[in-house]
Every structure is written in structure tokens, then in C-alpha cells.
Amino acid sequence: MESSPQAAELPPPPVHVAIIMDGNGRWARSRGLPRTAGHKRGAESVRRTVEAAREMGVSYLTLYGFSSENWKRPASEIADLMGLLRLYLRNEIANLHKNGIRLKVIGERSRLGPDIVRLIEEAESRTESNVALTLVLALSYGGRQEIVEAMRSVARSVASGELSPDIVDETVVGSHLFTSGIPDPDLIIRTSGEKRISNFLLWQGAYAELVFIETLWPDFGRAELETALRDFHRRDRRFGGAR
């Protein structure tokens, strides 16, 4: 698919775009449909957005697919979401690989089903050499939990004598996060009009630009991504420095 004229006018894209995909339930409810229908349409939006990000030249795209708090949802909804995840991992990986997209999953894998963990490992292994785009799926992920686990890992290294507490700095902490080796996001987008980050990339997003879009996730696509990138390029990023 060719890029739209609007996309051609965009400056170089941010290296790393992260998206909080929100609004599947509201999309379904507004149409008198079960929440499952919203999640299914949301999966189609994932496909569109990944394709658009790759074509626009984004290097890293992180999608908040399932938070650690989402485990509190009704068991039937969790089962539906896990079923969609299985389908995605089985059916989409060949397409990702064909398009040069690398898949990486971050989050607490121990809470996922063994078959899902196996599918994730197979998909990561199959696509690990791809360079067109790195797609990061945050599954069973929470920013606070990630930082806690990183601190535990650092503490173990200090206790064992492998690491001196005097050299623990931001770089050391970052190397113990799920996202080690991945640049921090330049832009975090949230759909559905909500204006909060919901425990997403708390450490990594310290200087990310935030864009909040009214569009519900199942309706999100290339046009909305372009709009967010235009907003990003209007920002004056000083990273705490003076104007």
C-alpha cells in the first residue's frame, strides 16, 4: 500500500511510538454488541496500525495489549482476550516475518498460559533478525511491577557482590527493565479520550510526548496515527532544558 499524500508531507517519524489501545468495550457497547466484538475489531486495528507504522518509518512500536490490572476482569472476558492473542500469534506471525517485522513481548509471562508462552517464544525466535520494525507487545504488563522487579534484580546483584551500589545509575536500572535494549518512547498515544497513562512505561516514558485522541481503538488507523505524528512534530522537546 502506498503512503498517503499527507504521510509524504510528514517529517521523519519518531523512533519509538507507544500506544495505549483503549475503547474496545465502548465501541461494542455503542453498537449493542458484546465486548468480544470490540476486541475482535481492535485486533484489526492492530494490523492496520502496525502496517502504517512500518510504512511511515517508525522503528519501534509498542502496543499496550493487556495490563497486569486486566487480570481483574471477568473470567469470560479474559478467556476471550487470551483466545484472540492465541489467534494473533498463530495467524499473524508469518505476515510480520514476511514484512521484516521483529516481535518482542514484555510483561509477566508466568501469568500467561504455557501454550501462549510457547507461541511467544517461537514468534520471537522466528522474527529476531528482522529490522524493518520492532513490534513490542506489552502483555500482563504493569509499569510499577516492572520497576519493582528491576529493583529486586539490582538488589540481588549488589548482595552477591556482582554490582557495587555506588555505580547504580539510570543506565543500570534501565538494563534490568523488560525494555532493556529498546530506546525510550518518543511519543505515547492513548485512544478513546481518556487522559492518563494507566501504569504504562512509567520509567521509560519520563520524557515522552503525550497525545490523547478521542477515537476509540477499533476505529484507529493510518489517519489517526498521522494526526498524532503531526501533533508530535509541533512540540518543542527540551528534556528539562531552558528554552
Catalytic residue (one of 70, 99, 130, 199): 70
Is 22 among the residues known to form the active site? yes
Measure the CA–CA gap between 104 and 121, rounded to whole angstroms.
Answer: 9
Q: CATH number of the domain at 13-144+186-232, please?
A: 3.40.1180.10
Segments making up each domain of the chain, as ranges: 13-144+186-232
| pLDDT exceeds cutoff 80 at 120 | yes
Determine if residue 38 is labeled as part of a ligand binding site.
no
| Residue 198 assigned as binding residue | yes
pLDDT tens per residue, range 54-83: 999 999 999 999 999 999 999 999 999 999
Closest CA to 65 of 50, 38, 94, 85: 85
Contact 237, 207 (CB under 8 A): yes
Q: Three cell numbers at 146?
A: 516492572
pTM: 0.92
70 as an active site residue: the answer is: yes
Query: What are the strands, taking DSSP E only, across the chain?
Result: 16-20, 60-67, 101-106, 133-141, 187-190, 209-212
Nearest 5°: the CA angle 163, 201, 98 is 100
Q: Determine if residue 41 is labeled as part of a ligand binding site.
A: no
Cα distance between the two ends of the chain: 40
100 labeled binding residue: no
Give the Cα separation of 74 and 65 in Å (integer).
Answer: 17
Residue 99 has pLDDT above 50, yes or no: yes
How does pLDDT run across 134-150, given as a tens digit for each residue? 999 999 999 999 999 99
